[in-house]
Chain A
Amino acid sequence: MKVGPTVVTESQSSDENAEISKLRRGELAATEKLVRENAGWMLAVSRRILNNDAHAEDCVQNAFSSIFNNLESFRGDSRLRSWMHCIVVNQALMLLRSRKRRNESPIDDLMPLFDENDCRVEDRWTTLETPESLIQKSQTRETVLSLIDELPESYRVVLLLRDIEEMATSDVAEMLGLSESNVKVRLHRARSALKKLLEPLLRGQSL
């Protein structure tokens, strides 16, 4: 499986091979090194998906347990980090599915509008703030993250996996049990809905 920000397509190096052998033998120093070097980014991935610190920690713990249990079957056709990324995302998705769903507003209200001639209905954009200038302002980051959280979960997850984790459409489809075209539709709808939610910010208006 190909993974975005941590994508490395070549197969594992000999150093990595040696580390994996030590891990398979259960060497404590190698195990501790693996945990200390990777728990940070794994916790960050889990927090993004689960939006809850305690659940994210559970997720990382479960992911490491799965990593240790499956080390024998790790074939080395991807880098160890990519393989671990898939495992932690899968664990987060499992936890997400087991959690009670919150009340969600329908995404249809946030979709673009068209008139009876199939022409787009869009207010004039007299101002369009640049993302670079917006992100410098205090509170923007928190505001954007809380607006992303308003998306229905099935859309938010696709947006996160594709646009933030930068996973391939085929991998997201496999993980979520969806067709690739369904992932694409969800991604576009999620982005469109988020554009609508971010409009006041982008137009330079206060929220």
Chain B
Amino acid sequence: MMSSPKKLMRRMHGMMFKLPLMITCNEFESFILAYLEDGLPAKQKFVFEMHLKICRECREYLQAYRASLELTKHAYEGDLIGPNDQVPDDLVRAILAARKA
């Protein structure tokens, strides 16, 4: 049976990603954390960024991954300090009483 154009394109992509200085999407996935923490050695960083240029799926995936991380951080903003006026007074009293005991 003939492959659909989409399937054929994916197969060609898969073959291209196995060429020298290329990585597959699966390998790209395993480099993401180190890339975002600027922890990739120069050569790996080069092949990672090369993949990023030519793979639309991974490019969009990484953008969404970053956006999701930022959204998570925003969701906790304002809650990080924990204002002292919201500390129940009986909790403070209990801590001080335990210290005196």
- A residues touching B (Cβ–Cβ < 8 Å)? 5, 26, 28, 31-32, 35-37, 39-45, 47-48, 57, 60-61, 64-65, 68, 112, 114-122, 124-125, 128-132, 134-135, 140-141, 144-145, 148, 159, 163-164, 184, 187-188, 191-192, 194-195, 198-199, 201-202
Residues from chain A with Cβ under 8 Å of B94 in the complex:
61
The residue from A44, A64, A188 contacting B98, defined by CB atoms under 8 A apart: A64
The residue from B28, B72, B82 contacting A40, defined by CB atoms under 8 A apart: B82
Instruction: State A119–B56 Cα separation when bound (angstroms).
Output: 11
Chain B's closest residue to A195 (CB) is B68
B84 at the A interface (CB under 8 A): yes
B67 at the A interface (CB under 8 A): yes
Chain B's closest residue to A41 (CB) is B82
Residues from chain A with Cβ under 8 Å of B88 in the complex:
57
Residues from chain A with Cβ under 8 Å of B70 in the complex:
131
Residues from chain A with Cβ under 8 Å of B95 in the complex:
35, 39, 60-61, 64-65
Given A39-B91, A65-B98, A115-B10, is A164 in contact with B82 using a C-beta cutoff of 8 Å?
A: no
Chain A's closest residue to B65 (CB) is A195
Chain B's closest residue to A57 (CB) is B91
Determine whether the beta carbon of A36 is less than 8 Å from that of B92. yes
Instruction: State A117–B24 Cα separation when bound (angstroms).
Output: 8
Determine whether the beta carbon of A122 is less than 8 Å from that of B60. yes
Determine whether the beta carbon of B11 is less than 8 Å from that of A117. yes
The residue from B13, B76, B81, B87 contacting A117, defined by CB atoms under 8 A apart: B13
Residues from chain B with Cβ under 8 Å of A39 in the complex:
84, 87, 91-92, 95
What are 18 A-B pairs with beta-carbon distances under 8 A? A35-B95, A40-B82, A40-B83, A40-B84, A43-B91, A45-B82, A61-B95, A61-B98, A115-B14, A118-B26, A119-B13, A120-B61, A122-B61, A130-B67, A131-B70, A135-B71, A135-B74, A198-B68
Interface of chain A: mostly helix, strand, loop or mixed: helix
Residues from chain A with Cβ under 8 Å of B76 in the complex:
48, 145, 164
- B residues touching A (Cβ–Cβ < 8 Å)? 10-11, 13-15, 17, 24-29, 32-34, 55, 57-58, 60-61, 63-65, 67-77, 79-88, 91-92, 94-96, 98-100
Determine whether the beta carbon of A120 is less than 8 Å from that of B68. no
Assuming A187-B33, A199-B64, what are 5 further A-B pairs, CB within 8 angstroms?
A39-B92, A141-B75, A188-B32, A191-B69, A195-B69
Chain B's closest residue to A111 (CB) is B29
The residue from B25, B64, B84 contacting A202, defined by CB atoms under 8 A apart: B64
The residue from B17, B57, B69, B74 contacting A121, defined by CB atoms under 8 A apart: B57
Determine whether the beta carbon of B14 is less than 8 Å from that of A119. yes
Instruction: State A44–B56 Cα separation when bound (angstroms).
Output: 40
Of A35, A194, A199, chain B has the most CB atoms within 10 Å of the CB of A35
Given A61-B94, A120-B25, is A31 in contact with B75 using a C-beta cutoff of 8 Å?
A: no
Residues from chain B with Cβ under 8 Å of A60 in the complex:
91, 95
